[in-house]
Amino acid sequence: MALLTCSNLSLGYEGKEIIGNLSFEVNEGDYLCIVGENGSGKSTLMKTILGLNSPLGGSVTTGGGLKQTEIGYLPQQTDVQRDFPASVWEIVLSGCQNRQGFRPFYGKAEKALAKMNMEKLGLTQLSGRCYREHSGGQQQRVLLARALCATQKMLLLDEPVSGLDPKVTAEMYEIIKELNEKDGITIIMISHDIEAALTYADKILHIGKSVFFGSAEEYKKTAGAFTSAKGGARE
């Protein structure tokens, strides 16, 4: 079942197109990695899927009962965000905002969901501590728990291991894999790590001078895989 369908998308800034005629489909349970050259529009595509940017043309539609507001999102952090003076609990709980509706306070259901996601990611002992006191890896776990509070179906991750050391990177990849395989959450992840993309993802979307959409096994056979691995895919 298709949870997300992008049809003939045209994306860009101030009317200048950077991606044109892009079409692909993400099914329930997929693990899709988006790769490509610097400036190819990977983050722009993700923000368009979330409804944060408007396409120049084409459409983005959701299916399978998924609403655009029910997609969990883990963006790249800025230095200001890394220094945010809120508790771990407050940040994770804020992922329930779309569930809150017009109520002025979070209810028992939202608090229980936040607690469950913190337990899942090993954050319970950090609950009352300030977010900015933690390492990059711990902060990413907090933001991932926050994103999980927004969804039970789809996560969008914008380079979630950027700046992390190899050990923490491997741990984060395993967490994401488990969310996909055990919890059934559909993953869409921007990555500049081609080796990891081909290890964990079952589908690849390569955008840039050339466009590829298909299985990871098919992508391995293309010249695009070699080009990306040599040149990097970070936007």
Q: What confidence tens digit (pLDDT) does each residue in 211-235 have?
A: 999 999 999 888 555 554 444 444 4
Q: Which residues pair with 154 in a beta bridge?
A: 71, 186
- Rg from Cα positions in the chain: 18
Q: What does the pLDDT look like over 142-193, one tens digit per residue?
A: 999 999 999 989 999 999 998 899 999 999 999 999 999 999 999 999 998 9
Tell me what the mean pLDDT of segment 42-47 comes to. Answer: 93
- Helix, strand, coil share (%) of the chain residues, nearest 5: 40, 25, 35
Q: What is the pLDDT of residue 80?
A: 60
Q: How many Å apart are CA 181 and CA 88, to the nearest integer?
A: 26
- Angle, helices 108-120/136-148, rounded to nearest 10 degrees: 140
| pLDDT range class, residue 40, cuts 50, 70, 90 | confident
Q: What is the pLDDT of residue 234?
A: 40
Q: How many Å apart are CA 24 and CA 7, to the nearest integer?
A: 7
Tell me what the mean pLDDT of segment 18-43 comes to. Answer: 93
Q: What is the pLDDT of residue 102?
A: 60
pLDDT exceeds 90 at position 103:
no
Please tell me whether residue 36 adopts helix, strand or coil conformation: strand
Q: Are strands 2-13 and 16-27 parallel, antiparallel or unpaired?
A: antiparallel
Q: Which residues contact 42 (CB under 8 A, 6 or more apart)?
A: 34, 35, 36, 190, 207, 233, 235
Half-sphere exposure of residue 86, counting CA atoms within 13 Å on the CB side? 14
